[in-house]
Amino acid sequence: MTDNESLRRLICEIGRRMYAKNLVAASDGNISVRLDEGQFLCTPSGVSKGFMQPTDLIVADGQGEKIGGTGKVTSEFPTHLACYEERPDIHAVVHAHPPHAIAFTLTGISLSEAVLPEVVAAFGGVPTSAYATPGTPEGNDVIRPLIRECDAAMLARHGSITVGRNVEEAYFKLEKLEHAAQTLYYARQLGALRTLSADQVDRCLAGRQAYGAIGPVYTADLYPDKTD
Ligand SMILES: [Zn+2]
């Protein structure tokens, strides 16, 4: 793994990109990385992700208690811990408030249908959780069953959770998720969405290793095959 100092700088750089790309506003969102020995490096509560310094980051344990740093552990960190508990294979969690993707959850329009082949290949569909009040234990409960089955999910009326083997991977899934949601938003202005056929979905999934996708793929809504 990257040494701690360069990892801290990388997390700050990803925070700046999240803020610059409008994936978070003000002090929204949080990033964490699983270190060795059950410790986690994470962004502090109440600090803008666009203006973090490496020394702002804090170290927390597997119970969500701070063991290093000066800031406060974010109330959303237990949701990260729920992801790590469900997925021993991941080492990073990124939570953001991507506006197009959130807009879909406000209207109840699914992000889990098969429309963009590269998104299907990367993570299948993007499921949306049941509603939970942000920053409460409910948020941990609603994410658990979803994150077992996928690397990218939406918390209803709130934001995204993306996970990866490292923090760059988790961040790029966030970018991809919001880019897809923005594209679907534009498409819906032009007309009805046409989904991929079951055969086209099969071929996307068969080729997903070529996209570097190795996590689980969410397939629950990929096969309605409404149109070819
Ligand atoms: Zn949030």
One-character DSSP codes across the chain: ---HHHHHHHHHHHHHHHHHTTSS-TT--EEEEE-STTEEEEPBTT--TTS--GGG-EEEETTS-EEESSS-B-TTHHHHHHHHHH-TT--EEEEE--HHHHHHHHHT--B-SS--HHHHHHHB-B-BPPP--TTSHHHHHHHHHHHTT-SEEEETTTEEEEEESSHHHHHHHHHHHHHHHHHHHHHHHHS---PPPHHHHHHHHHTGGGGT--S--B-TTS------
- 218 assigned to some structural domain: no
Range of the domain at 58: 4-211
- CATH, residue 199: 3.40.225.10
- 183 assigned to some structural domain: yes
The pLDDT value given to residue 224: 67
Mark whether 76 is an active-site residue: yes
Residues near ion ligand 1 (Cβ under 5 Å)? 159
- 94 assigned to some structural domain: yes
Which of 5, 65, 76, 86 does the annotation list as catalytic? 76
208 versus 93: the higher-pLDDT residue is 93
Q: How far is the CA of 158 from the centre of ligand 1 (A)?
A: 6
Give the position of tokens 């689980």: 216
User: How many domains, the chain?
Assistant: 1
- 162 assigned to some structural domain: yes
Q: How far is the CA of 47 from the centre of ligand 1 (A)?
A: 13
CA distance 201 to 221: 11
N residues, the chain = 228
- 219 assigned to some structural domain: no
Tokens of 48: 């803008």
The pLDDT value given to residue 3: 57
User: Residue 104 above 50 pLDDT?
Assistant: yes
- 163 assigned to some structural domain: yes
Q: How far is the CA of 92 from the centre of ligand 1 (A)?
A: 16
Q: How far is the CA of 67 from the centre of ligand 1 (A)?
A: 23
User: Residue 226 above 70 pLDDT?
Assistant: no
The pLDDT value given to residue 223: 85
- 43 assigned to some structural domain: yes
Confidence band of 207 (pLDDT split at 50, 70, 90): confident
Distance of CA 125 to the CA centre of its chain: 13
Q: How far is the CA of 76 from the centre of ligand 1 (A)?
A: 7
Q: How far is the CA of 28 from the centre of ligand 1 (A)?
A: 6
Indicate the pTM of the whole model: 0.94
In this predicted model, what pLDDT tens digit does every residue of 111-149 receive, in sequence order? 988 999 989 988 888 999 999 999 888 989 999 999 999
- 99 assigned to some structural domain: yes
Instruction: Give the chain's mean pLDDT.
Output: 92
The pLDDT value given to residue 1: 41
